[in-house]
């Protein structure tokens, strides 16, 4: 699920902290947008749809499409509306229906 990234970070100013995604350790820029940092780290997919299991990644980056849903420390949240914090434990949302997200 972690591949070479298709996204380039322009300036490396911020400190990196450790988070986990599906058990893998990632070093992400602290305080930056979580969806953006996961993309830059080469994460794909963020989740699978409850209907067909199709892979999804962020689509709108503005809190409208809900394709960036991930589970952070047990709570399903929009990664594009969340900032990176040290020690976050992130996983794909359990594949129950998304309307109780």
Partner 1 sequence: MLETDLAIIGAGPAGMAAAYTAAQSGLSVLLLDEQSRAGGQIYRDVERAANTRGHILGKDYTCGLALVENLKHERITHVTGAAVWQVGQDCELTYSVAGKACQASGKRLLIATGALERPMPVPGWTLPGVMTAGAAQILLKQSGIVCERAVLVGSGPLLYLVAAQMIRTGTAPLAIVETQSFSDMISAMRHLGGALRGWRYLTKGLALLAEIRRAGIPRFTAATSISIEGDGKAQAIRFTSAGRENRIDCATILLHHGVVPNTQISRSIGLDHHWDPDQRCFVPQTDGWGRTSLSAIFIAGDGGGIGGAKAAEIAGSLSALEIACDLGAMDKGERDHKAGRLRRALTSELAARPFIDRAYPPFVPALTPKDATIICRCEEVTAGDIRRYAKLGCIGPNQTKAFGRAGMGPCQGRYCGLTVTELLAEANQKTQEETGYYRIRPPIKPVSLGELSALAKTESAKP
Contacting residues toward partner 1, per CB under 8 A = 6-11, 13, 32-33, 36-37, 39-40, 44-46, 49, 51-52, 54-67, 69, 75, 81, 83, 98-99, 101
Pick out residues in 5-64 that bind ligand FES (CB under 6 A).
35, 58-61, 63-64
Backbone angles phi, psi at 72, to 5 degrees: -115, 120
Smallest separation (angstroms) from ligand FES to the CB of 98: 12
Strand partners, 56: 47
Smallest separation (angstroms) from ligand FES to the CB of 69: 8
From 94, 61, 52, select the one nearest 76 (Cα to Cα): 94
The span from the CA of 63 to the CA of 25, in Å, is 26
Q: How many CA atoms lie within 13 A of 71 on its CB side?
A: 16
Give the torsion sign (CA, 85, 80, 48, 74). Answer: positive
Closest to ligand FES by CB, 25 or 75: 75
Smallest separation (angstroms) from partner 1 to the CB of 22: 15
Give contact residues for ligand FES (rule: CB under 6 A). 35, 58-61, 63-68, 78, 80
């Amino acid at each position: 699920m972690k591949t070479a990234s298709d996204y380039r970070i322009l300036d490396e100013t911020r400190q990196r902290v450790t988070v986990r995604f599906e058990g893998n350790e990632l070093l992400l820029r602290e305080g930056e947008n979580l969806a953006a940092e996961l993309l830059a780290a080469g994460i794909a997919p963020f989740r699978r749809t409850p209907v067909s299991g199709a892979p999804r990644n962020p689509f709108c980056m503005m809190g409208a499409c809900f394709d960036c849903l991930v589970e952070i420390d047990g709570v399903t949240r929009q990664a594009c509306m969340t900032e990176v914090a040290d020690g976050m434990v992130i996983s794909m949302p359990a594949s129950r229906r998304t309307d109780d997200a």
